[in-house]
Every structure is written in structure tokens, then in C-alpha cells.
A and B are shown apart, each in its own frame.
Chain A
Amino acid sequence: MAKITLDNLAHSYFPEPKGEEDYALKQLDHVWNDGEAYALLGASGCGKSTLLNIISGLLVPSRGRILFNDKDVTEQDTVARNIAQVFQFPVVYDTMTVGANLAFPLRNRRMEPAYVARRVQKIASMIGMEDMLERKARGLTADAKQKISLGRGMVREDVNAILFDEPLTVIDPHMKWELRTQLKALHNEFGHTMIYVTHDQTEALTFADKVVVMHDGKVVQLGTPEELFDTPEHTFVGYFIGSPGMNLIDADVSGDKAICAGHEVTLGGRYKPMSGRVQIGIRPEFVSITSQDQGLPVTVKRVEDVGRHQILRAEFEGRQINAILPEGLPIPAAPIRMKFAPERISVYVNDWRVAPDEVTATPSKEVVL
């Protein structure tokens, strides 16, 4: 078990990277605390798997250092780092039995046979494959194979960290939930440092204490699920977390007012004058509709009833704005206006969040997820 520090890390798959865009991982300084469960969230191709492979030692970074408990391991290989990693697609050793598959990482490290047998039994019961230990791994279904892969990742007790690279992609939804719960239980029991890569926000938010959001080779925000929801530091976080994501509208901000295409919106704080591309962001959960003469005039495009609430998809000046409204609320077809809760509006300059100089409205503590 270890604290993992990434120091000035960057990686490019080109031997001689020329510019910023050649880097799959851009400048990264980050500390993964010992014993915490992290989710690494981001769209496909944002560098998540690259980062994971660098931590596990499958890849050597082009620049920077990796420290385990303040010891430099950048040049060490996977075995020396003592890391477990589970991959997106199942990897099983076909010619071995299920039991031998689970025992493989332990046997390679010459553990006591009695201990190996005990661990295999324990892991098998965890993944629900106790009655299959003698069976050859060949010909099992994809999710059975992935359970074996997961089991192999968890079978060693002394690992520095366990890395999961979208491990539940091929597993059916019910089993997904069950395995996630067991991973969580495993984490509570042994306190391994865990990093769980996913592009599924539900998975990330339920699994982890802390979520790291990556975008375009950079970590854009690290925080608890609530922080990511309440104060996205980057427009990508706003858009990626939440369903539907945050609404972003171009605006001119001065003081505690924003002007969006000639319409005034009240903000929850005072801001300094700013330059660059300025946008205001508001989550659909904090948008309401009104027939009074205030807020932004929008045209209703579509209403989706998803059961617990309805999603109103409207258009403002050619841009889509979504609102999550209570179930059963009548929505007039005529042009309506949308109102934003001032304390929930964030201001972004060139995609990064700007904090107000002075807060004039504080959000109530109740979070609607």
C-alpha cells in the first residue's frame, strides 16, 4: 500500500514530440493518497489508460517521475512496483483451470501453496466462482472471464495499488452493480489504494471517494462527487458530469450581472472585469420556467418524460438549454422564459471557472441529483 506521487509527468507516444498536441498526457502533478479509492473519469482517448499504464510500469513516461511513498520508481518495472491491474477486456490463461488462473500471480511470486489455496478460495467466493475452480478457463463467457481477471487483480494482498481500466465494460448490468459493491467492500476491508478508470459517471461517483476528471491529457478537476456537481472547475466537468450536463451560455459579465444576447441574468456574486471567452454555466437541475417577463426567452424543442422528472430541451439563440423540471409540471407550448438560480451559476473564462470576488447568494445545502 502506498501513496503515489506523480511529479511533473508527461507522456507522448511519439519519440520526438514537437508541440503540446503530440502529448497524450500533458503536464501532470498529482498525489494519490494511500488507501483512498479514486475514480479516473474522462471521455475515450483523454489519456486515462496511458496514465494507468504509466503508474503500473507498463509504460515509461517521456518526462517526469513517479514516486511510491516518496521512493522514485520511474525506472522500475511492473513486478518491482508490485501493482495489480485489471484491463478492459478479459485476459485469461485459456489452458489453465479457473483456480490456476487465480493462483497464477501468487505462484509466480513463489508463495506458500497453503496460502495460495486459501486466497484462491477466498477470491473465488468473492466473485462467485467457487464451483468452477476445476474447470478450464477456455470457453467461459466474457463476463465469467472478466470476473477471473478481476479476481487475479485482487488475489495479492500486499500490492501497492490496484488499478482498474474500465473493468466492467463487458459485464451485464446486474453483475456490474454486485461487483462494484464487492470492490468497494474489498477497499473498506484492506484499504488498498485503488484507481478506477471509467467513462461512466455513475460508476465513478458510486465507487470512489474522490473523482479525478481528465480531459485532453490533463487533470481538470479532482474532487468529491458533490464538488464536481456543485462547482465544476472546467466546462468539461460541467458537461461530462450530470445528465444532461451543464448548460453553457456565452455572456458578458460585469459586476453581478451577465448579459446573454441582450438579456440580463443575475449572478450569485460580483466579478472583476474579464477578457477571453466568457460563459456562464448552470446545471439543468437549477433551471426553472416562468411566464413572467424575466429570464431568457427560449423556444421549446422537446420534452422527455423520464419518470421521476421531465427534461425540457429548449433553444436559446441557437444553443440548446436543458432544464430538469418536476414531474407533471405543465409546460406551455408558447415561447416561455427560463430562470436560473443565481447562487448556482458559475462563470467560466476560456473554459476555466472564475471564483467571484464577493458572494452575494449562497446555495441551500440541498442537492438534487
Chain B
Amino acid sequence: MTKQSKMSPEEQRLEKLQEQSEQKRRRRDKDRNVLQELNRALDAATRTLTKGLIRGFGNERWQSLTIPLLAIALSLVAISILVLMLGSNPLNVFTGILAGAGWIPKPSYGGGQSQLTDLISLSISLTPLLFGALGFVVAMRAGLFNIGIAGQMVVAGFAATVLVGYSDLPALIARPLVLVVGAIAGALAGALIGFLKHRFNIHEVVSSIMLNNIFIHVASYLIKANHLNHASRNMNAASAEARLLTEPVQFGEVAARLPVGFLVAIAMSFILWLFLTKTKQGFEMSAVGKSPKAAQYAGIKIGPTIVFAMALSGAMGGLAGVTHYLANVPAMTPDVLPALGFDSIAVAFLGVVHPLGAILAATLIATLSSGAVYMGSVAGVRHEVASVITGLILLFTACGGFLRAWLDNKKRSFADDENLKGGDAS
């Protein structure tokens, strides 16, 4: 104050001007503060959301479960939007699929059908999918991409149909024999891929693609030359005794054929899980898969391990083949590689490449395909939408690694922030 009185008028005017601009600046600052507040609020909101996501999906222990669930949820949202755009009710689509697959009752059933028969059909289509997925999982453990499941299915389906399906063996011998022949044929087809990799250093993805096409064309040639059913344009069907469906079993009003392979597939999931985690061979396969050089250093024989892993994987592919061609469909169609062979690869990934995860994933995907036709008849949407749902689930699952990395990153940056804050306070 005293200073001011000593100032010349000019200085005072300057002072005033300065004060005015000061006020202006303060006002502007206030505005800016409001904006900053808003920004901060937005920030806080996104932070809470991210934190929520981290809490829900960030726990590494549970991520193998939560990430696929997130993928499924995302694809259901996407499909709902699509269905709404087509003018139908997405809920009808989902309930239609569940009812069609037998998980919930339909309003009415045709003659000889019930919720139980629907569930049994589901288990029939689930079985090859699960075997195929197991095949992929086993190979993946040893670091190998078995893209050749489809080819192994063809080899096994063809061999079992010709060797057992056309014989007059009684069911009690024929059915187990079909499984054995299928597994062996598939194992040989798989081992060939392993051998080509070990001996000639041909990448398994490349050799699988080549062999898939070689197998289907050779099988088609043999079918057309010797085993063609001219009415259906399919391969001659295997005898009922050799097909992997039991004689009709009576359940109250309805009768149904039960799939022989279903329980085998479930049991196989558990056996493989134990095999991969608890045995020396499982340890060796994982070691080769994670680091071939370290495995060699550990004294593990790489070549035989690769061939063995591919044989085991191929055996599963073979079982997928026989449970597909001798149960799921009437007979093999020439010139067509089974799409199921590729679907099962995606199923394996949806099941986080774990033998038990494969059960859940195969159930989900089989539900979608099994319930599609019924859904199409009740929901007013083409039945193909079910395969689009499958595709989207797989698409989002493929991004699982990204989601995981993103959550990890966020979690770490949050943790850092907390640390820094802690540092400031002390």
C-alpha cells in the first residue's frame, strides 16, 4: 500500500492495467478450471471403469476363464445389434438356440423327440469337435500348430469305414475297433507331419495344408473308384454295427441312439490333462514346445518328442474323424474337407488351449450349431446367424492376448501411480 502511494500516475495506470489483465486472466483460469474439473471427472470415470475391468478381468489366475467370457459377451452384444437391425428380437435368437440344442425345453416336440433327444444330438455333434480340439491342444503343448486335423479326420474316417464299416463284425467288436483304427490312422497321418518337420524341417503348418489336400483328394479318388453311393453322391455308409451310435435306447416315450464316443471324449480330456501336467513325457513335450534349444540342452530328444506329440495329436484328430463320419454325419462326402477340422482349432483356442477348457468351448460351439436350425424356424432370422455368432466369438477370442496385455499394462500403470503417490506422501 505504501508503495502505491509513492508511485507516479503513469505507474499507477500501468498498475491498473496490469490488475485488469490479471482479473481477466483469473476469469479465464476459472473457466479453464471448470474444464479441468470436467476433464478430471471424465478421467476419474474412465479410471473407475478401467479399474472395474481390471478387478473383473485383471486377475491373472482367473484370466483363462474371464477373458473367453469377455469374448463371448462381446460377440453376443455384437450379434444382438445385428439381429435388432434385421428387425428381430435377439432374445428369441438366443433362447431359440438354447431350446434347439436341448438346454431349455421347446414349447412342443414332434413325434419321437424330446428335450433329451435334443441333448443327445448335441452330444453327438460335440464329440468330434472336442476330439479335434484336444488334438490341437496336444500339438500346441509341444509348440506345434496342427492345422491338419481335417486331413487326419479324413484318413481315419475313410480307413475305419473301409476296414471295419464294410465288415460283418458284431457291434461289440466293431465299435471299439472303429475307435482304435481311427486313432491309429489319425496317429500315422499326424506322425507324418511330425516326421517331415523333424527330418526335412518343413514347417508343420505348411505340410499340414499340403497333406490335408492330398488326403482328401486321394480319399475322394478311392471313394469314387470303389465306394461311391450313386444316390447320395457320398461314400457308401458303414454298417449300423460299426457306427458309433448305440442301438436305440428307450427313454419313456422316446427312443434315441446314444453316441459311443461322447464319454470317451470327456474321459480323454481328463486323461490328457493329467498326462500333460503330471508325467515325464508331458514335461518333455512342454519343454520342447516352450524352448526347443533348452529342451535339447536338457537332454530331451527333440525329433522323437515332436513325432510323438504329432502322433498323439493325430490320434485325437482320427477319433474326431470316426466320431464325425460314423456318427455325426451319414457318410463321407468326397472332395470336401470337413469344416469341423478347422472349427476345432478355434474351439481349442476358445478353451485357452487346455484339455478341460476344450470341453466347455466345444459345448458352446456345438450348442450354437446344434440349435441353429430350430432357432431359424422360430426367431425369424436365418439359421446361418448361429455360425456368425461362432465366428465372432472366435474373433474376439483371438484378441484375448491383446486384452490380457492391455489389462496388464493398465494394472501396472495404476500400481505405479499408487507407488508415486505413496512416495510423495512420505
Whether A associates with B in a native complex is no
Binding site for B on A (CB under 8 A): none
